[in-house]
Chain A
Amino acid sequence: MRLLAGHEEAKILAGGQSLMPMLNLRLARPELLIDINQADQRPPSRTGDLLRLPALTRHRVLLEHDLVRQHCPLLAEAIRHVGNVRVRNRGTIGGSLAHADPTSEIGCCALATQAQVVARGPDGERTVPVSELFAGYWSTTLAESEIITDVLIPVARPRQGGSFLEMVRRTSDFAIVAVAAVVELGERPGEIAAARLALAGVADRVMLADPGPIASTADQDQDLDAAAARIAETLEPASDVHASAAYRRRLARVLIARALRQAAARATGDAR
């Protein structure tokens, strides 16, 4: 913390799977690197209704840890799409969120699960909802002197289902579009009490989208499709060498509808 406060151009080195490529390509030239890998050895834990993932939790741990698989299966599912085995052995959840990549699978899941980060600065700790964390391409609302120490995720409740889907041209590439959906069923049969959606690859940051009310009747399928179409229309993704804006919008529409359906099916226990 002292080093971070004392240097304007300091960067924190966690897993290094994004920062080190930027250094190797000379895209980043920090004055000082602060390696925090020895700073914390805590494993994931559960306190009440919160899953606590220390910032240095490696992707491989997210993929394999029983607490994560049980209480945040969405994250365990999404991590399969992150990098390759070597990247997952080093990359960390805190580093990934702080990097704020607009195609981040982890950021997408953190939004959909209503996660919060604990940020520590010179004046103490504060808790920041992930929905208020991202500020644009690779930037966050954290102060230069703040560091993420923990990620807190509400544990999955009964009658709740999640789904993570993404489109890539080659496995392990950055997502062209990714969607994380969480659906909670209500009391009445088939009733969807709440649905949360997060999208990656369609803006300058990972973002939440509101699917709106969804009918519990036979019209539900139509409602899901309509919600997907409505959200897709509001998106203004960029065109780049990987995909056009129109293709991204089309992908978002298809993936949102599929993800909502799969999440709802999992919530009812129909499918894994």
Chain B
Amino acid sequence: MNKRQIVLSVNGTDHEVWVFPSATLLDVLHDELGLADVRYGCGEGVCGTCTVLLDGDPVNGCLTLAVQAVGHPVTTMRGLMGPGEVMHPLQECFLRHGASQCGFCTPGMVLTSLDLVRRCVSQGRVRPTRDEIRYALVGNLCRCTGYTKILDAIEEYADQ
């Protein structure tokens, strides 16, 4: 199997990369493009640390092949930040609430909950309930915080 050249649109920038057709999107983003905010956790789609937005929807980077992302814009958590690495308001809420300790799960938590809040807003609702946030984050494991501070942070962001 030979490598082939593909173009991936990541965080608003096109990248030409040589990849094996069997390479996962996670491996290419992390190893080839140096995006440390996309992480290998379980490789089974259970833990959520490789979450990226594909066409705006959260997907598992570990269960998507890089070649499948050609023509579909990819956003990682870093892509939410403004010029000069200004934090996204949701990241600010995480920081304020101590919702990030070791930080390994944080990008997945931020992207998944941002998707939830956006969907709520697009349905004309004020904010998701605490149970809805819990349900949306069922596939994002955190071993540090006990989740309560994460829920608090997301609620504060949704209130803004």
Q: Is the CB of B135 within 8 A of A171?
A: yes
The CA-CA distance from A16 to B112 in the complex, in Å, is 19
| Interface set of B (CB-CB < 8 Å, partner A) | 21-22, 24, 43-46, 48, 51, 54, 57-60, 62-65, 67-68, 112, 115-116, 135-136, 138-140
The CA-CA distance from A16 to B48 in the complex, in Å, is 16
Q: Is the CB of A21 within 8 A of B43?
A: yes
* 17 cross-chain CB contacts under 8 A: A20-B24, A20-B62, A21-B45, A35-B67, A83-B45, A84-B46, A84-B138, A84-B139, A85-B58, A85-B112, A85-B116, A86-B60, A86-B112, A90-B59, A90-B64, A171-B138, A172-B138
Is A17 close to B, CB under 8 A?
Answer: yes
Q: Max chain B CB contacts within 10 Å: which of A13, A85, A170, A171?
A: A85
Q: Is the CB of A25 within 8 A of B51?
A: no
Q: Is the CB of A87 within 8 A of B136?
A: no
Q: Which residues from B are CB-within-8-Å of A25?
A: 43-44
Q: Is the CB of A35 within 8 A of B68?
A: yes
Q: Which residue from A37, A90, A171, A172 sits with its C-beta under 8 Å from B60?
A: A90
Is A89 close to B, CB under 8 A?
Answer: yes
Q: Which residues from A are CB-within-8-Å of B54?
A: 89
Q: Which residues from B are CB-within-8-Å of A37?
A: 68
The CA-CA distance from A37 to B51 in the complex, in Å, is 20
Is A47 close to B, CB under 8 A?
Answer: no
The CA-CA distance from A25 to B42 in the complex, in Å, is 10
Q: Which residues from B are CB-within-8-Å of A234?
A: none
Task: With both chains docked as a complex, state the minimum distance between the C-beta of A129 and any C-beta of chain B, in angstroms.
Answer: 30
The 9 closest A-B pairs by CB, nearest first: A84-B139, A20-B63, A24-B43, A21-B44, A172-B138, A89-B57, A86-B60, A171-B138, A86-B58
Q: Which residues from A are CB-within-8-Å of B21?
A: 33
Q: Which residues from A are CB-within-8-Å of B62?
A: 20, 24
The CA-CA distance from A84 to B58 in the complex, in Å, is 10
Determine the interface band of chain A, counting residues with CB < 8 A from chain B: 20 to 34
Across the A-B interface, how many residue pairs have beta carbons closer than 8 Å?
Answer: 72
The CA-CA distance from A37 to B72 in the complex, in Å, is 13
Task: With both chains docked as a complex, state the minimum distance between the C-beta of A164 and any C-beta of chain B, in angstroms.
Answer: 16
The CA-CA distance from A21 to B45 in the complex, in Å, is 7
Instruction: Indicate with 1 or 0, residue by residue over A24-37, a CB within 8 angstroms of chain B CB atoms.
Output: 11000000010101
**Residue of A with least CB distance to B61:** A86
Task: With both chains docked as a complex, state the minimum distance between the C-beta of A33 and any C-beta of chain B, in angstroms.
Answer: 8
The CA-CA distance from A21 to B24 in the complex, in Å, is 11
Q: Is the CB of B68 within 8 A of A87?
A: no
Q: Is the CB of A87 within 8 A of B139?
A: yes
The CA-CA distance from A35 to B46 in the complex, in Å, is 22
Q: Which residue from B46, B63, B64, B115 sits with its C-beta under 8 Å from A85?
A: B115
Task: With both chains docked as a complex, state the minimum distance between the C-beta of B118 and any C-beta of chain A, in angstroms.
Answer: 12
Given A35-B65, A37-B68, A172-B139, verify A87-B44 contact (CB < 8 Å). Answer: no
Q: Which residue from A13, A17, A33 sits with its C-beta under 8 Å from B45?
A: A17
Q: Which residues from A are CB-within-8-Å of B57?
A: 60, 89
Task: With both chains docked as a complex, state the minimum distance between the C-beta of B45 and any C-beta of chain A, in angstroms.
Answer: 6
Instruction: Indicate with 1 or 0, residue by residue over A155-172, a CB within 8 angstroms of chain B CB atoms.
Output: 000000000000000111
**Residue of A with least CB distance to B21:** A33
Task: With both chains docked as a complex, state the minimum distance between the C-beta of A146 and any C-beta of chain B, in angstroms.
Answer: 23
Task: With both chains docked as a complex, state the minimum distance between the C-beta of A102 and any C-beta of chain B, in angstroms.
Answer: 18
The CA-CA distance from A35 to B45 in the complex, in Å, is 19
Interface residues of A in 1-60 (CB under 8 A from B): 13, 16-17, 20-21, 23-25, 33, 35, 37, 60
Task: With both chains docked as a complex, state the minimum distance between the C-beta of A170 and any C-beta of chain B, in angstroms.
Answer: 8
Given A85-B58, A87-B45, verify A17-B139 contact (CB < 8 Å). Answer: no
Q: Besides the contacts A84-B140, A86-B59, A170-B138, what 16 more A-B pairs have beta carbons closer than 8 Å?
A: A17-B45, A17-B60, A17-B63, A24-B62, A35-B67, A35-B68, A84-B45, A84-B139, A85-B58, A85-B112, A85-B116, A85-B136, A86-B60, A89-B54, A89-B58, A89-B59
